[in-house]
Amino acid sequence: MPGIWKKLTFSLASVVNIASVALIVVALSTEKWVTGKILCKTGADLVNASDAELDKFKGDIYFGLFQGGKTKKCGLGSRTTRIYIFPKLVKKLNGGLHMIIILFLFVAIGFALVSLAFCIYNARKIPYQSIKGPPGIYLWNFIAGLFGTFAVVCFIAAVRHHRLIERVANFKEDFFQLVVLAEEFDFSFWLCVAGAATNGANFIVVAMSKIHFPKIQIKKPEEPTGLVLGVYEKEKEDDSVCFTEAASSFDGSLSGKLRELLSISGPPLKKGKSRIFYGLHEDFPSVVVVGLGKNSPGFCSKENWYNCKENIRAAVSVGCRALQDLEVPLVEVDPCGDPQAAAEGAVLGLFEYDEFKKKKTFAPSSGMEAMRADMGGAATVCSSIVTAAALKLPVNIIGAMDVALGSAATGVFTNSDWLWKQLFKASIVTGDRVWRMPLFQHYTKQVTDSQLADLNNIGKYSRSGGPCTAAAFLGEFVTAPHWAHLDMAGVMSNKDEIPYLRKGMSGRPTRTLVEFAAGLCTEP
The domains of the chain, with CATH numbers, are 4-208 (1.20.140.150), 225-350 (3.40.220.10), 387-522 (3.40.630.10)
Of residues 229 and 387, more confidence is placed in 229
Nearest Cα residue to 178 out of 69, 50, 61, 31: 61
pTM: 0.51
Dihedrals phi, psi of 278, to nearest 5 degrees: -115, 145
Secondary structure class of 353 (helix, strand, coil): coil
Kindly report, residue by residue over 377-410, the tens digit of the pLDDT: 555 545 654 565 565 544 344 467 888 888 899 9
- The stretch 428-449 carries a mean pLDDT of 90
Kindly report, residue by residue over 450-484, the tens digit of the pLDDT: 777 788 777 676 667 888 888 888 888 888 888 89
Give the span between the Cα atoms of 142 and 509, in whole angstroms. Answer: 67
- The stretch 13-36 carries a mean pLDDT of 91
Q: In 3-state terms, the chain is what percent helix, strand and coil (to 5)?
A: 45, 15, 35
pLDDT the model gives residue 394: 43
Give the type of residue at 159: V
Give the pLDDT band of residue 371 (cuts 50, 70, 90): very low
On the question of pLDDT at 160 being above 60, the answer is: yes
Of residues 358 and 502, more confidence is placed in 502
pLDDT, the chain, mean: 83
Give the span between the Cα atoms of 118 and 127, in whole angstroms. Answer: 9
Give the type of residue at 306: Y
Residues near 263 by beta carbon (within 8 Å), at least 6 away in sequence:
241
Helices assigned H by DSSP within 461-500: 466-475
Left (φ > 0), alpha (ψ -120 to 50) or beta: where does 246 sit?
Answer: alpha
pLDDT the model gives residue 426: 94
Give the type of residue at 296: S
- The stretch 123-132 carries a mean pLDDT of 63
- The stretch 209-238 carries a mean pLDDT of 76
On the question of pLDDT at 213 being above 90, the answer is: no
Kindly report, residue by residue over 282-339, the tens digit of the pLDDT: 889 999 999 998 887 678 888 888 889 999 999 999 999 999 999 999 999 999 999 9
Least confident of 142-146, 477-481, 488-492: 477-481
pLDDT the model gives residue 133: 62
pLDDT the model gives residue 360: 60
C-alpha 62 chain-centroid distance: 62
pLDDT the model gives residue 26: 93
Give the pLDDT band of residue 166 (cuts 50, 70, 90): confident
Give the span between the Cα atoms of 49 and 57, in whole angstroms. Answer: 9
pLDDT the model gives residue 158: 87
On the question of pLDDT at 128 being above 50, the answer is: no
Give the span between the Cα atoms of 429 and 407, in whole angstroms. Answer: 18
List beta partners, residue 414.
Answer: 484
In percent, how much of the chain has pLDDT > 90?
35
Q: Give the per-residue SS3 of 269-280.
A: CCCCCEEEEECC
pLDDT the model gives residue 395: 39
- Answer for the pair 9, 206: CB distance below 8 angstroms, yes or no: yes
Nearest Cα residue to 105 out of 192, 201, 16: 192
- CA distances to 111, 243, 268, 317 from 289, rounded to whole Å, are 71, 10, 11, 12
On the question of pLDDT at 168 being above 80, the answer is: yes
Give the type of residue at 450: S
pLDDT the model gives residue 428: 93
pLDDT the model gives residue 396: 41
Kindly report, residue by residue over 72-111, the tens digit of the pLDDT: 888 778 888 898 888 888 887 777 888 999 999 999 999 9
